[in-house]
């Protein structure tokens, strides 16, 4: 007759300890909180891409953008019609477009539902207070004007991407994206031009650069 052999208490404790060490090492490598933040940033970027596509389709269909009432209308004379006005994460006068007509960016974007470019639930979601802070920019005062959407990322990988684009300087951004312009501190590269960024290294504990599309 053979005697069944089992694990001793010491062996079990050793196995449990090894599994614990491997689990801690895995969590340290993956950083689950960072993965969650990266997932949220990825979703926000996809939403901004969808919104930009809807705005361009609206313009292609009607000949003007949803914040305009006719082709070529200059809502804000002398400055960009939309100068980094907030879409989500805020309310109040910081997202007012021009003075004629006087309306919020969210109200202008709601017109996208009139041509079924997006669902009303989508516009409501990205305009909500609980949504990450996002911005729109449309400079019709320069040649080759275009619509740009930006957001402030949460994850380090997206923050690094935004920092590197600021560091690239004029090849990536015009002066409208640098520092305080048009009386607002909200800019994709708030710390200055490429020279300012080249002087320092990326610091994930102190970053406020924005990711912008396109």
What tokens were used for 212? 């912008």
- Rounded percentage of the chain residues whose pLDDT exceeds 90: 21
Give the range among 45-59, 94-108, 174-188 with minimum mean pLDDT.
174-188
- Mean pLDDT for the chain overall: 80
For the ranges 27-41, 107-121, 136-150, 158-172, the one whose mean pLDDT is highest: 107-121
Rounded to the nearest 10 degrees, the angle between the axes of helix 32-62 and helix 9-30 is 30
125 vs 127: CA distance, rounded Å: 5
Residues paired with residue 89 on neighbouring β-strands, in sequence order: none
133 vs 131: CA distance, rounded Å: 6
The mean per-residue pLDDT over the stretch 193-199 comes to 78
Q: Is the pLDDT of residue 41 over 80?
A: yes
183 vs 35: CA distance, rounded Å: 35
123 vs 113: CA distance, rounded Å: 8
């Amino acid at each position: 007759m053979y005697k069944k052999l089992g694990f001793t208490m010491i062996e079990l404790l050793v196995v449990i300890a090894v599994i614990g060490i491997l689990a801690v090492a895995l969590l340290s490598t993956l950083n689950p909180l960072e993965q969650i933040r990266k997932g949220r940033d990825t979703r926000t970027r996809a939403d901004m891409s969808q919104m930009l596509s809807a705005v361009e389709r609206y313009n292609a269909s009607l000949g003007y953008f949803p914040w305009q009432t006719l082709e070529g209308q200059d809502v804000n004379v002398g400055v960009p019609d939309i100068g980094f006005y907030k879409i989500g994460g805020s309310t109040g006068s910081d997202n007012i477009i021009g003075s004629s007509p006087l309306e919020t960016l969210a109200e202008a974007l709601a017109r996208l539902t009139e041509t079924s470019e997006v669902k009303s639930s989508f516009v409501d979601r990205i305009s909500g207070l609980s949504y990450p802070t996002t911005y729109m920019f449309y400079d019709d005062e320069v040649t080759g004007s275009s619509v740009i959407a930006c957001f402030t990322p949460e994850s380090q990988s997206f923050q690094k991407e935004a920092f590197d684009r600021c560091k690239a300087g004029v090849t990536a951004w015009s002066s409208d994206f640098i520092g305080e312009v048009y009386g607002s501190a909200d800019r994709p590269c708030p710390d200055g031009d490429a020279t300012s960024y080249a002087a320092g290294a990326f610091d994930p504990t102190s970053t406020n650069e924005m990711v912008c599309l396109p």
